[in-house]
Structure 1
Amino acid sequence: MPALICVTTEELGQDIVKTYKNIDKNKLRITPNGVDIDLFYPMETPKKNQIIYAGNIGHAQDLEDVILAMKKVNEHFDLKFLIVGDGDIKRDLEKVARDNNLMDFVEFPGLISREKIPKMYSESLMGVAPLKKLKTLEYAVPTKAYEYMACGIPFVGCGEGEIRKLAERSGCGMIAENSPDAIADIILYLLNNPEKQIEMGKKGRDFVEKYYSRKQIASDLKSVLECIEFEKPNPIMSDGINYARSQ
């Protein structure tokens, strides 16, 4: 039997316990991916009329519905949607934008140096983290959601499980159903409530500082591993790791 099982999310730990009946759930430790809060932080830069997605442009993300949502959003606001990065479905999404006459509202800047991303986040009004609504994705929290929060902007997410828990616990996210209309309605709500955007952004930064700093997560994990090596009792886990298990 393993002395310790580290999982990145609460949902993943629960799935392991259900699948492997002989696993002692007391040996599970939530060790989230977290974020480098020294690299990702709110920068003093003017806001632009844009929202952003940055990361792998792949099949797990419901980016097509966000693109289609821009038609309704731009009936009320002049807003750009930046899809930063590359991936398997980038060309497909470019075609969706072209076919729906949305290229004026959707931009694909391509791959950007990681050091430039925090500024792009900070000058955006909000980030998007649109997971598809699949059982196999309920364990997942996109790292970009932590990054948005660290940079002090709210996020609009899609999906169930961990992404919804993060939005609710942090007060920094709102979860939409996986449809263009539902996504557009939440984006419009936040655009119409700039004070809410600021409030959510501050909550997100405070939340990641307390629970999702990679330095603190690594330090906590190091302490636990040292206790296993020397056969000492495990110390009380700090909030950075133990938060999700306490809820």
Structure 2
Amino acid sequence: MSRKGILFCMRYPDDQGFVWRTVVRVRDRIAGLLTDYRSYVAFPQLTGHSVHKIEHMQPVELDCYNLTAANKERLAQFVAANDIGAIVYMSALPTSLDMAFLHSLGLKTINTEQDSFDHRVRDSLPRQLAKFVVRRIMKRQLHDLHIANSASQGEWLKSYTKIPPERLVIVPNGIDTDHFVPPADPRDDSVVDVICAGQARREKRIELILRCAKRIVAQPEFASVRFTYVGDGEMRPVWERLAADMDLAGRFRFVGARADLLPFFQSADLMVHAAERESFGLVLAEAMACEVPVVACAAAGPSEIVADGTTGRLVALDDEDGFAAAVETYLRKPALRAVHGAAGRARVVGRFSMERQVRDMAAAIAGALA
């Protein structure tokens, strides 16, 4: 009897790196454990310049998110030709898809939720009731399984979107702790490097970090401090202009997106993160694995990764003075950086390894397909 197929879906073309490289790597390793199935990975475009190294999935060109008539036809043909039994989405709530069409193909659907949501949003009572009736009672607008990437994400999906608990599992994200390691040699103490990294989206709030940098570089005791932002996107030109207006040239570098952040983490003395919405925060775990302490705003994901006062500091979302003060404390105390950095790696190895994530996600997917 031939094995059924599983189709893992990606939202972006195969030349898009950064966090998507980690997502694809995790899915590839999951596929390596699901040996009872043939695994495929769908990209909306195969560019010929893939940034991914894939061993256990066959790449195919299919857009499984933008379900136009043409894309539906291609997907239906692929499902039939390859005996696909399940489709695994990334960050695709049921309301964004044509669930009736997917079910008509005989597919089970699974969603691994990576998106960041504003946990401060509240629905009116009538809207809450409507969601409860549709999802909890009628069992509509649901995937067969929803996988949340953090405890706070899972609670949001359950309480705000009304996903039934029996269709929800929590599998925290993980990182490669064998790749992200401290530097072999001591860090260069002639420069104190403060790093921030992430996609250049509005919610990342690099402008807050720029204001923090302005305050710090104005103080003579911090003459050796330099800030580095790694990332790209629509907000980068805005932030670069703001940095120029603040006269931060030479003290705040914009180096663009990089395929591998390891060299930056290994040279960094401190990680800062000011996002107001963050479902997890892979870059925080990667930095901590390299023994870099973290100062972060207490968004949902960072609050689970950073142990406040042990591996870094968590600051209220709108407390800019508190954020800058926490950064200054670490800049003044290299011994504290070393202690909290070592504690950070121990925490990530114990809780946020990719091996644990892959094992738990593979088990959850296999259970949903049984």
Relative to 1, partners in 2 of residues 1:224 and 1:109: Cα closer, same or farther, differing over 3 Å?
Answer: closer
Please name the residue that 1:90 is paired with: 236
* Alpha-carbon distance in 1 for matches of 2:170, 2:309: 17
Please name the residue that 2:209 is paired with: 66
* Alpha-carbon distance in 1 for matches of 2:163, 2:250: 55
Identity of aligned residues (%): 22
* Alpha-carbon distance in 2 for matches of 1:105, 1:22: 46
* Alpha-carbon distance in 1 for matches of 2:162, 2:320: 41
CA offset digits 1:55-81 (Å, max 9, x no partner): 212111111111111122120312110
* Alpha-carbon distance in 2 for matches of 1:123, 1:37: 17
* Alpha-carbon distance in 2 for matches of 1:191, 1:88: 30
Contact 1:127 1:153 (C-alpha < 8 Å) held by counterparts: yes
Q: Which of 270, 273, 286 is matched with 1:129 structurally? A: 273
Q: Which of 110, 116, 126 is matched with 2:256 structurally? A: 110
Contact 2:285 2:305 (C-alpha < 8 Å) held by counterparts: no
Q: Which of 239, 263, 272 is matched with 1:119 structurally? A: 263
Relative to 1, partners in 2 of residues 1:227 and 1:111: Cα closer, same or farther, differing over 3 Å?
Answer: closer
1:77 is the counterpart of 2:222: yes
1:55 is the counterpart of 2:198: yes
Q: Which moved more, 1:157-166 or 1:199-208?
A: 157-166
Using the size of structure 1 for normalisation, the TM-score is 0.81
Please name the residue that 1:15 is paired with: 156
Contact 1:170 1:207 (C-alpha < 8 Å) held by counterparts: no
Q: Secondary structure at the match of 2:172?
A: coil
Superposed displacement of residue 99, structure 1: 0.8
CA RMSD of superposed structures (Å): 2.2
Counterpart mapping for 1:208-219 below 5 A: 208-219=348-359
Contact 1:54 1:144 (C-alpha < 8 Å) held by counterparts: yes
Using the size of structure 2 for normalisation, the TM-score is 0.55
* Alpha-carbon distance in 2 for matches of 1:140, 1:37: 20
Contact 2:169 2:364 (C-alpha < 8 Å) held by counterparts: no
Contact 2:200 2:232 (C-alpha < 8 Å) held by counterparts: yes
Gaps of 5+ in 1: 231-247
* Alpha-carbon distance in 2 for matches of 1:165, 1:222: 23
Q: Give 2:272's aligned amino acid.
A: V
Counterpart mapping for 1:15-34 below 5 A: 15-21=156-162, 23=164, 25-34=165-174
Q: Which has the larger radius of gyration?
A: 2
Superposed displacement of residue 27, structure 1: 4.6
* Alpha-carbon distance in 2 for matches of 1:96, 1:61: 15
Which has the larger share of helix?
1
Please name the residue that 2:279 is paired with: 140
Q: Give 1:141's aligned amino acid.
A: F
